[in-house]
Chains A and B, each alone.
Chain A
Amino acid sequence: MAEELRFFLRSALFTILIGTIYWFLSYEETGSILLAGVVASSAFFVLVVGAAVRAARSGRKTPRSLLGFAEGPEDRPLILDEDAFPSGSAWPIVGSVAAMLVGLGLIYGGWLWIPGAGLALAGAWGWLAEER
């Protein structure tokens, strides 16, 4: 089993054990639910990482190859597709400003959501449309 998978599996099993002990010692609901949340999150990552490991072993693309890197003979030098590296992008900062405006709109009034939503849409469109 891949160590990446074991990492989250251990997390889930440990928290199940501790959570069970905690519940029967305290019958305290909030903490028990939070510990159950850690178990659920760990289990989610077991599924996600498990899928990634299976994909990697079956030769499908992994994040490394998705970014354009592949390994040459004897693993070096590194080789990559010509268009692999993203150049700069303004859309992340546009998206962040949008998120901030939406948040500030909750305090200072919904009128801030108009520029916030506009920037969010522009940011999402620009990000997705960006070639590299």
Chain B
Amino acid sequence: MATLDHALAHTAPRPTGVVGWITTVDHKRIGILYMITAVVFFIASGILALLMRAELAQPGLQIMDESTYNQAFTIHGTGMMLLFATPLVAGFANYFVPLHVGAPDVAFPRLNALTYWLYALGGLVVFSGFLTASGAASFGWTGYAPLSDSTYTPGAGVDLWIIGLILVGFSSILGAVNLMATIFGMRAPGMTMFRLPIFIWNMIVTLALIMFSFPVLTAALAALFIDRNFGGGFFDPAQGGDPILWQHLFWFFGHPEVYVVILPFFGVVTEIIPVFSRKPLFGYRGFVFATLLIGAYSFTVWAHHMFTTGSVDNPFFSAMTMLIAVPTGVKFFSWIATMWRGKLRFQTPMLFTMGFLFMFLIGGITGIFVASPPIDLAVHDTYYVVAHMHYVLFGGTVFAMFAAFYYWIPKMSGRMMGERLGKLHFWLMLLGFNVTFFPMHQLGLDGMQRRIPDYLPERGFDTLNALSTVGSAIVAMSILVFISNFLLSMKKGAPAGDDPWGGNTLEWATTSPPPHHNFRSLPPIVSERPVFDARHGVHGDG
């Protein structure tokens, strides 16, 4: 045995440059690769969204035909959900789970690298459908049978979509097992389960959701591939199959997936709020159990997406969906109570956290409405649902993602992000997001269907659609402000120091950026906020 410094000095030299990044097994580098790749897919999928909004700005077909529009919304949805949001979670988890639990790396570093490359290559395979003669998949990210069978959507683009997503599915499952093993098996001494940071508790539930739900998607995709190419008949009534089976399988994955991309960000904002309120989190254990309940309920609500099929037990799924609002409400009360009478600092991470709280709340409230089958029957497949979904996923995941970036980029890079540009980014995004998506509620209530490239002028949809398109351009501008801020900060940003925010968790106990294998020493861990304890000389629970 030797000291850490001595051992590091004797570790084989790591490759540098591009080879170093390609062959890396360091969890921090893999985390950064995940984040960069996810953001690239976010931008690619966002460009598809901008093209769709441009098409819808006025009646008639302006810039693309129906088939191209179908491909655009399919790959937009697939890209945002499975190639951006979920892998972004993997990126943050890769970088910060080992740091939060005081571990030197993940449990299986090479497996970690494998999961990244499976994801990156799988994503490229999905997008490569655009290069085929028949174009990319064009039936919506939900891939409903029989639209996705070889009769209605022939061509290699769909098969590429399936194979790409199977690769991504395996990546997610293997990554979840790896991170769960890291949390359960590699925690620092003293870090009991109820001293884990809230971000880690949210990750535990997220990882369990991935382990239980992604195999269902992966198997369903394999069945779809067999149907299309080998005459399987799983989803074909003519061969004794059932198209509704696909919907059950897809949504048994698809609804937990919503929580896969939101729970980690609940964790992120729950780390940020106490730091920027200068108070401990209100109700730590209640928050943990609310997270467990949300995870458990998420497997009981899948068929609220299928109310209109007439083949599911609507009252059961309606009741279970409304029940999820209870633990979510507990979390909101914890956040508000944490801020109550705190010394609030509205720096950029906290601003984005506030944006998250308000936008996600709107998405949650509209979710209660569509959890009621009579209302859902009226607004199903309209822009009301598009608005609801984007308030949950953009208002939730994307706002919290930027909160996380502004909070953690100083740790990852050693440089602070610019506050002035950060605030400009926030206000532009808040404005653009609401101008884009709020009018969609009314469009949906007026009867505008989703997934159509055109509408009749006499339907009166044009003004709100034009407004929505203007909003999407403002969102795009806000993203450009973020990119500019990032590039400028990496070049000229102020040095961050080890703990620029006065943080609570272990990542702030090491240098910015952390050294290879993270820590040269750890503070004693006697609560869920060891760095706060060390700063204030606390030596016991509470």
Q: Which A residues are closer than 8 A to B by beta carbons?
A: 2-4, 7-8, 10-11, 14-15, 18, 21-22, 25-26, 28, 30-31, 34-35, 37-38, 41-42, 45, 49, 52, 56, 62-64, 67, 69-71, 75-93, 95-97, 99-100, 103-104, 106-108, 127, 130, 132
Q: Which of B156, B208, B522 is in CB contact (< 8 Å) with A78?
A: B522
Scan B284-327; emit 1 where CB is below 8 A from any A CB, else 0: 00000000100110011011000000001100100010000000
How many chain-B residues does the 8 Å CB contact rule pick out?
85
Scan B218-261; emit 1 where CB is below 8 A from any A CB, else 0: 00000001000100000000000000110011001000000000
Complex: chain B residue closest to A26, CB-CB: B313
How many Å lie between the Cα of A30 and that of B229 in the bound state? 24
Give the interface segment out of B71-79, B118-126, B373-381, B464-472.
Answer: B118-126
Interface secondary structure of B, over-half rule: helix
Q: Which residues of chain B have C-beta atoms less than 8 A from A37's C-beta?
A: 212, 216
A74 to chain B, nearest CB (A): 8
Is B121 within 8 A of A100, CB to CB? yes
B362 to chain A, nearest CB (A): 29
Is A88 within 8 A of B14, CB to CB? yes
Q: Which of A25, A88, A132 is in CB contact (< 8 Å) with B15?
A: A88
Q: Which residues of chain A have C-beta atoms less than 8 A from B25's C-beta?
A: 86-89, 92
Q: Given known contacts A85-B7, A85-B105, A90-B22, what 10 new A-B pairs fall within 8 Å (CB)?
A: A18-B299, A26-B312, A62-B186, A67-B186, A78-B521, A79-B2, A82-B6, A95-B114, A97-B121, A100-B167
Q: Which of B118, B170, B312 is in CB contact (< 8 Å) with A28?
A: B312
Q: A100-B125, A103-B166 are in contact. Are A88 and B249 (CB under 8 A)?
A: no
Q: Which residues of chain A have C-beta atoms less than 8 A from B19's C-beta?
A: 88
Is A69 within 8 A of B104, CB to CB? yes
Q: Which residues of chain B have C-beta atoms less than 8 A from A99's C-beta?
A: 118, 121, 167, 170
Q: Which of B104, B245, B292, B516 is in CB contact (< 8 Å) with A10?
A: B292
Is B216 within 8 A of A34, CB to CB? yes
Q: A11-B296, A15-B299, A93-B113 are in contact. Are A30 and B4 (CB under 8 A)?
A: no
Q: Which residues of chain B have C-beta atoms less than 8 A from A88's C-beta?
A: 14-15, 19-20, 23-25
How many Å lie between the Cα of A99 and that of B170 in the bound state? 10
A47 to chain B, nearest CB (A): 14
Q: Does B55 contact A (CB under 8 A)?
A: no
Q: Which residues of chain A have C-beta atoms less than 8 A from B519's C-beta?
A: 78
**What are 22 A-B contacts defined by CB distance under 8 Å?**
A3-B193, A3-B194, A11-B295, A18-B299, A18-B320, A22-B316, A30-B244, A34-B216, A79-B4, A85-B11, A85-B516, A87-B11, A88-B15, A88-B23, A88-B25, A91-B110, A92-B114, A92-B117, A96-B121, A99-B118, A100-B125, A103-B167
Q: Which residues of chain B have C-beta atoms less than 8 A from A35's C-beta?
A: 299-300
Is B312 within 8 A of A15, CB to CB? no
Is A96 within 8 A of B245, CB to CB? no
Is A85 within 8 A of B104, CB to CB? yes
Is A81 within 8 A of B1, CB to CB? yes
Q: Which residues of chain B have C-beta atoms less than 8 A from A95's C-beta?
A: 114, 117
How many Å lie between the Cα of A69 and that of B2 in the bound state? 11
Q: Does B524 contact A (CB under 8 A)?
A: yes
Complex: chain A residue closest to B311, CB-CB: A28
Scan B480-495; emit 1 where CB is below 8 A from any A CB, else 0: 0000000000000000
How many Å lie between the Cα of A11 and that of B207 in the bound state? 13
Q: Which residues of chain A have C-beta atoms less than 8 A from B164's C-beta?
A: 103
How many Å lie between the Cα of A96 and that of B175 in the bound state? 14
